[in-house]
Amino acid sequence: MGTQTSYPLDVGSIRADFPILDRQIGGDIENAGAGSDGDTPLVYLDNAATSQTPKAVVESLVEYYYEYNANVHRGIHHLSQEASVAYEDAHDRVAEFIGAAGREEIIFTKNTTESMNLVAYAWGLQELGPGDTVVLSEMEHHASLVTWQQIAKRTGAEIEYIRVDEAGYLDMEHADELIDDSTAMVSVVHISNTLGTVTPVETLADMVHAHDGYLFVDGAQSAPTQPVDVEAMDTDFFAFSGHKMCGPTGIGVLYGKESILSSMQPYLYGGEMIRSVTYEDSSWEELPWKFEAGTPVIAQAIGLHAAIDYLEDIGMDAVRTHEAELASYAYEELSQFEDIEVYGPPGTDRGGLVAFNLEGVHAHDLSTILNDYGVAIRAGDHCTQPLHDKLGVPASTRASFYIYNTREEVDALVDAVDGARQLFR
């Protein structure tokens, strides 16, 4: 394995913004065969679950809490005005980041899952019924699959699944067969969090719109890692989470076309989202506030704004290139072992993650050994249990890469996997 690096990013400078990457991780190193001192550098490769947070984002949170901590839209005093402006600016920044028309199309939630549920309940319960179909793919995250499954049970709608072929690609001929005049919604992942497959969402948008249906794109793995333009994509809904893109936990984004959001009823009721209330009835605030009931995610939104600034200073094209190169390199290096199965399509036209299994070894056991080498990865079904059933495995091991990861860390992963192979053999 080579250690020569050729990055579009200044990874050394980027890593300096993430103090956690300097941690030494203790494990049973001696028994694992990687050393005897009990400490080894952290190699963080679980970014598809949660990325690390740079100092600039943490500082934005500290500044809010230290200098203008107040509720928004409810106070005349100076701190409330400052907080309100910062919160509204965060909506504008997100709209700019994903190519939305304006803040009216940006709703803050807790995460991608809540964004999915908002549409499913506020739109799906009202619009779906017997004779309607919701089309998903076989590689959907549980946030989509389970949510639409439950809405279908309540409304009498049917769920259909676009096949994933043996190479890990979406079968677009099958998609064309499934999407017809009964299709009310197509809900798909933009990038599979297990296979790394990039879904051709523009083509799906054309298909479903030809039948007057809607498209929901789960962008949890794409918004953090590549340029996104929702208008060019022509998706009706798009969702992602802050904690996968250098932002805080506890904030998600739902984009929706203004014309559709305007026709939808609120998902949550209470303070902040109302315009007027009497004992007999209530009316709702304008977009996006009618979908943000109660005290909103103020600090988290400010942190997300800072995270977007940080990523765009790097350049999202560079982020995509860097991730793709690391994932392709990891795919090639892991594929050299005859007893390792790597899932998803090869090459650089994929997301920045690689899922794999070591023959005869459960993913949890492999993950435990890799932890002893300081390598942090994810093991399990990655909230894609039906996809793993299709693959014929109970779980997989997943390494996922981000802006601060290096080719040398991929080498460390492969060395650790090889050490685990020797141990289990």
- pLDDT given at position 159: 98
User: What is residue 26's predicted lDDT score, i.e. its pLDDT?
Assistant: 66
Prediction pTM value: 0.94
In this predicted structure, which of 10-14, 132-136, 346-350 has the lowest mean pLDDT? 346-350
Tokens coding 297? 């995610």
Q: Which residues of 177-192 are buried (b: 16+ CB within 10 A; e: fewer)?
A: ebbeebbbbbbbbbbb
As a whole number of angstroms, the distance between CA 373 and CA 387 comes to 29
How much is the pLDDT for 222? 98
Average pLDDT rounded to a whole number, residues 276-284:
94
Residues with a known catalytic role: 383
Asked if 215 and 201 touch (Cβ cutoff 8 Å), the reply is yes
CA–CA–CA angle 168, 172, 178 (5° rounding): 120
Average pLDDT, the chain: 94
Which of 343, 400, 418, 373 is CA-nearest to residue 24? 373
Query: Rounded mean pLDDT of 15-28?
Result: 87
The shares of helix, strand and coil residues in the chain, as percent rounded to the nearest 5, are 45, 20, 40
**Contact 352/225 with Cβ under 8 angstroms?**
yes
Asked whether residue 33 carries a pLDDT value surpassing 70, the answer given is no
Instruction: Set out the domains of the chain in order of their start, with CATH numbers.
Output: 11-50+316-424 (3.90.1150.10), 56-313 (3.40.640.10)
CA geometry: angle at 191 spanning 409 and 319, to 5°? 45
Give CA–CA dist 101/257, Å, rounded.
9
pLDDT in tens, 312-365: 999 999 999 999 999 999 999 999 999 999 999 988 889 999 999 999 999 999
Q: Which two tokens stand for residue 19?
A: 């103090």
Q: What is the pLDDT of residues 217-256, one digit of tens each?
A: 999 999 999 999 999 999 999 999 999 999 999 999 999 9
Mean pLDDT for the stretch of residues 42-56 = 98
pLDDT digit string, tens, across residues 171-222? 999 999 999 999 999 999 999 999 999 999 999 999 999 999 999 999 999 9
Q: How confident is the model over 373-391, as pLDDT tens digits?
A: 999 999 999 999 999 999 9
| DSSP 3-state of 250 | coil
